[in-house]
Amino acid sequence: MATGDRAAADYRLYAATASAYAVAMGKIVLVSNRLSTSVTLDADGPGFAPSMGGLATGLSSMHQQENSLWVGWTGIPADNVSAEMSQVIADRLRQEYKSVAVPLTADEIEDFYFGFCNNIIWPLFHYFPTYADYDEALWEAYRRVNEKYYHKVVEVADEDDFIWVHDYQLMLLPQMIKSALPASRIGFFLHIPFPSYEVFRLLPWREQVLDGLLGADLVGFHTYDYARHFLSAVRRILSAEHQMANVKYHNRMVKVDAFPMGIDYQKYATARELPAVQQEIANIRRELAGQRIILSVDRLDYSKGIPIRIRAYRSFLEQNPDYHGKVTMILIVAPSRTAVPHYQELKREIDELVSVTNGTLGRIGWTPISYFYRPFPFDQLTATYTQSDVLLVTPLRDGMNLIAKEYIAARTDYRGVIVLSETAGAARELGEAITINPNNEPQIAAAIREALEMTIEEQEQKNRLMHERLELYDIHYWARDFMDKLAAVGEMQASFAQRAFGKRQQERLIADYEAAGRRLIFVDYDGTLLDREHRSHKLSSESIDDMAALASDPCNEVVVISGRPKDYLQEVFHDLPVGIIAGHGIWYKGKSDTWHTTEQISNDWKQTILPILQLYCNRTPGTKVEESDYSLVWNYRRAQPELAAVRLSELKDALISLTANHDLSILERSHILELKHSNVNKGRAAAAWYEGSDWDFVLAIGDDWTDEDMFAMLSEEQYTIKVGIDISQARFFVNSTEDVRQLLGELARRSRFKTAS
Ligand code: GDG
């Protein structure tokens, strides 16, 4: 492969969406809080039944594949079961259901599940921060239980497996697995919203949670908004930068992306044909003959906005007496987390609202709300979907909301209207629904009327579009898409791993170095010789000594190549016999020479660009303009990162048309946007040096993308080394400036030894 193709290949691997995961891989290990098989225990022994809910059905097709395992909790506390019975259950789960049980005790369920997950994470991530009850003991339980899952996973997983961890109960697990099985591909998917930074930052254990998640190679969310919130939290809390939703963290690249979860479309679209569903449909028609039906279905949860929905329905009835006696709301609330006080309060509130509405507005022969506080079996639920004119989905916050999708899929007659909250993830995909602000009661009341009065033609036209989308982007597509992306990220990580500059590669480089008569060494300064984070911003005396030893070797030509101004570099290297390329190539000087400039370049463009940069400085506190001989820099290191990110993209937009006219290029480095003439780059500067002589050995080391031109200019067999892992033209990667120091130290030792002998 030619050097220039390497970065292109990195990009291709990243962009790949072919079903790569289906070939050449180990097992798929699915990990979630609950198994897809629920276990019950009675006098006759254990019973096994499929778990309900989107996640279990969604992943079942993947789980049915030959080589997969599901790790999770059975649903019964381990301390309620004897050791022998636990073994029987574990064996049957493994053999008959390809499942591995994580034994959780009643106390763990209390503190980890009800305590940390449902009393801290759930309310906080659904924007109910005042419901969150921060308690260090619950955090400890969360950490311990994540460790329990970790031990089970490493018991059954191997390095070549794909491990897919699900949801907010297991956010520490990816990092734990990554440290034990670094080569495994780990995906994480969050089923609930990821809140904005301002809300997420309230969590006392925010660093640990982000660190846990970034152990995954791919982190997925339902929507881009959640992905954006996550990236912003990572940048602000962990100071980890990202580009194109690739986070650089601890020398790994973590991909962040949106995967809107679909439903088992065929299951809902064909449900109407089932005899049991037909039977239920007949029942509903008989019981509610002549009524328009408004449906509401949720688990009992304060995030679902059930009380305001009832209030809005009551307002609608109050404002539209012509609908009295002609419309019924079927309100299904599936009991959930009933041990948690906030849920008990909510249940009381709903009971009261229903009874007040029915009591004040109902009459003999007409009850405005038919209320069911229990789950409906599938047949009854889908029959109700098919017979309802309107579905009210008004959560205050909802990761996705699958009910909305199931309803549309079940309406194969293309009838029915959804009133959908704009704060549900599903609103991003179901744009044809009537969207509402879930806190705006009058708006919901008006939307109910609008939905009831929508023409059949309009309903059909809108529902056909939604059907097409739901059929294509179904649950199988979702799972495949996630795994394909995970495979692609894995391929890229593997390619990075192959290019790691390890012991063997170093021995080879040293052998080539020793065998060579004429050697050329290019070394970048910031981030390569000098650690960007280093407090003193000075080279260590050790590094200076090594550079001196290398440069004094008569076989060597050592060139420092940097974007820094010439005067700065002159001061740092003034008494070393090194060559210097400054300002990305605008200035150069040989080891015993004076400064020269490479190009005759006009600076007229600065008059146009400078006022624009100054304008952006005024609009963005903490930023400044720096001017050097042939470039202008907008430095935003001290600015508030979110604002700087917005201004940066605006500024780039503003500059793009101008730079083309002036033949300028825009360079982006850590917290810096630099403008300079396109003819000036490290590649051209290095080429001029390189072409001046015949070399037996060439080494180029750099850390950021201005060094890519230098790497690209060199050939495949020459040593190009990038500090830090990234998409790159370089042949090898090292992790840190310390690795560079160690390598240059080794080479310097050989030069000193030769000079001495
Ligand atoms: C979380 C996120 C995200 C509900 N009631 C009955 C019943 N259900 C089934 C539905 C649907 C599922 O449960 C509910 O899924 P949702 O998406 O609406 O909500 P959550 O349970 O809160 O799920 C959510 C989801 O994860 C997936 O990522 O969409 O945002 O909060 O499949 O059909 N099923 C039956 N009877 C009921 O009474 N049979």
Known catalytic residues are 524
Give residue 400 CA to ligand 1 midpoint distance, Å. Answer: 9
What pLDDT is recorded for position 18? 39
pLDDT-based confidence at residue 310 (cuts at 50, 70, 90): very high
What is the pLDDT averaged over residues 577-581? 94
pLDDT at position 42: 85
SS3 for 640? Answer: coil
pLDDT in tens, 2-14: 445 665 555 555 4
Q: Hey, what are 574's tokens? A: 């003034």
Residue 676 is given by DSSP the state E
pLDDT of res. 229 = 94
- Give the model's confidence band at 706: pLDDT under 50 very low, under 70 low, under 90 confident, else very high: confident
Instruction: Report pTM.
Output: 0.81
Least confidently predicted of 6-20, 64-78, 98-112, 650-664: 6-20
Pocket probe for ligand 1: among 60, 277, 299, 388, the residue whose CB has the most ligand atoms within 8 Å is 299
At 164, phi and psi to the nearest 5?
-115, 110
Say which residue, 630 or 443, is predicted with more confidence.
443
Helix/strand/coil for 345: helix
Locate the ligand 1 atom nearest the alpha carbon of residue 378 and give its number.
Answer: 39
Mean pLDDT computed over every residue of the chain: 90
CA dihedral of 457, 458, 462, 468, whole degrees rounded to 10: 10
What is the DSSP code string of 29-92? EEEEEE-SEEEEEETTEEEEEEPPSHHHHHHHHHHHSTTEEEEEE-SS-GGGS-HHHHHHHHHH
Q: In this structure, which residue's CA is closest to atom 10 in ligand 1?
A: 403
Domains of the chain and CATH, by start: 3-258 (3.40.50.2000), 265-472 (3.40.50.2000), 499-599+680-756 (3.40.50.1000), 606-677 (3.30.70.1020)
pLDDT band at 608 (very low <50, low <70, confident <90, very high): confident
* Half-sphere CA count of 17, side-chain side, radius 13 A: 7
261 lines ligand 1 (CB under 6 A): yes
Q: Is the CB of 54 under 6 A from ligand 1?
A: yes
Atom of ligand 1 nearest to the CA of 304: 22
For the stretch 137-179, pLDDT in tens is 999 999 999 999 999 999 999 999 999 999 999 999 999 999 9
Q: Is 703 a pocket residue for ligand 1 (Cβ < 6 Å)?
A: no
User: For residue 95, how far is its CA from the centre of ligand 1 (angstroms)?
Assistant: 29
User: Is residue 401 within 6 Å of ligand 1 at its C-beta?
Assistant: yes
The pLDDT, as a whole number, for residue 599 is 60
Tell which atom from ligand 1 comes closest to the C-alpha of 336: 21
pLDDT attached to residue 341 = 87
Helix and strand tally (H, E) in the chain?
27, 29
Whether residue 323 has its Cβ less than 6 Å from ligand 1: no
Q: Which of these, 669, 667, 704, 711, lies nearest to 687 by C-alpha position?
A: 711
HEC string for 143-157: HHHHHHHHHHHHHHC
Ligand 1, pocket-test mutation among 297, 402, 403, 407, most atoms within 8 A of CB: 402
Identify the pLDDT of residue 723: 93
Q: Is the pLDDT of residue 22 over 70?
A: no
Q: Per-residue pLDDT averaged across 485-506, rounded?
A: 88
Is 398 a pocket residue for ligand 1 (Cβ < 6 Å)?
yes
**756: confidence class by pLDDT, cuts 50, 70, 90:** low
Residues 495 and 399: their CA atoms lie apart, in Å, by 34
- Is the beta carbon of 376 within 6 A of some atom in ligand 1? yes
How many A from CA of 406 to the centre of ligand 1?
A: 10
Return d(Cα 259, Cα 435) in angstroms, integer: 21
Kindly give the distance from the C-alpha atom of residue 347 to the centroid of ligand 1, in angstroms, as a whole number: 18
Which ligand 1 atom is the nearest neighbour of the CA of 54?
A: 32
Would you say the CB of residue 297 lies under 6 angstroms from ligand 1?
Answer: yes
For helices 378-387 and 275-287, give the axis angle rounded to 10 degrees.
50
**Rounded to the nearest whole angstrom, what is the distance from the C-alpha of residue 607 to the centroid of ligand 1?**
60
pLDDT at 707: 92
Is the pLDDT score of 513 beyond 60?
yes
Rounded to a whole number of angstroms, the distance between the first and last alpha carbons of the chain is 40
Instruction: Give residue 19's pLDDT.
Output: 46
Shortest-distance Cα residue to atom 19 of ligand 1? 401
Which ligand 1 atom lies nearest to the CA of residue 261?
Answer: 28
Q: Which residue has the higher pLDDT, 634 or 241?
A: 634
